[in-house]
Amino acid sequence: MTKLVMLALLLPSTLAAQQRGYTVGVTGFTGGAWQPSGVEVGLLRSLGSTPGQTFGVLLRVGGFVQDQAVLVGGSTGFFTSVVGVVRRPLATIAAVGSDRDLSYARLVGVLELGLSKDFNSPLPQGDLRGTGAVLLGISFGGGGRLDENFAILAGPAWFVGDASSTHAQVTLRFQSPVGRGPRRPPPQTP
């Protein structure tokens, strides 16, 4: 019983310490005769005490563009996806700025798992497909638990359903915290 009481007392402080944020981005897939691509928005939460480590849920909406569409034209259908994302910094490449206001270039890893509903899909997976991706990329931005930053990510993605296939995924994402969190003091001028 005392363990439950202690857990109940610690839980609000743990949740209060987490930061919330949002993300917006653009994602495209290559491989095959049709490439899904779309825009995404999502909600994020900081995860643990590691700066930049987050998890989130994204809504991705897009369409299917035919290979070489610029030359021959062609698009069909659209899709909606709900995607779970875990992002973790792997290494710091560079830090720029003053001691009180550093910005970082970091190598990051991202794991994505999602479920997509396709409408008039040209893909062999059918109208309902699962997706998974392991992405590696570079992020540029602050060093807080969930700071503003921009990331360029790429890696393999898998589509499963009536059939399975492998694709390359390229994603550009911006993320930012929401609400009032700890604010950095402004840099002091000499």
What is the per-residue pLDDT across 15-43, written as a single tens digit (0 to 9) for each?
445 789 999 999 999 887 788 999 999 99
User: Which residue is associated with the tokens 């992002």?
Assistant: 87
Radius of gyration of the chain (CA): 20
Q: What is the pLDDT of residues 97-135, one digit of tens each?
A: 887 778 899 999 999 999 999 999 888 898 999 999 999
Q: Which tens digit of pLDDT belongs to each residue from 52-111?
A: 789 999 999 999 887 665 555 677 889 999 999 999 999 999 998 887 778 899 999 999
Contacts of 70 (CB under 8 A, 6+ apart): none
Return d(Cα 174, Cα 153) in angstroms, integer. Answer: 11
Judged by DSSP in three states, 61 sits in: strand
Tokens coding 112: 């994505």
Measured distance between the N- and C-terminal CA atoms of the chain, rounded to whole angstroms: 57
CATH code, residues 19-177: 2.40.160
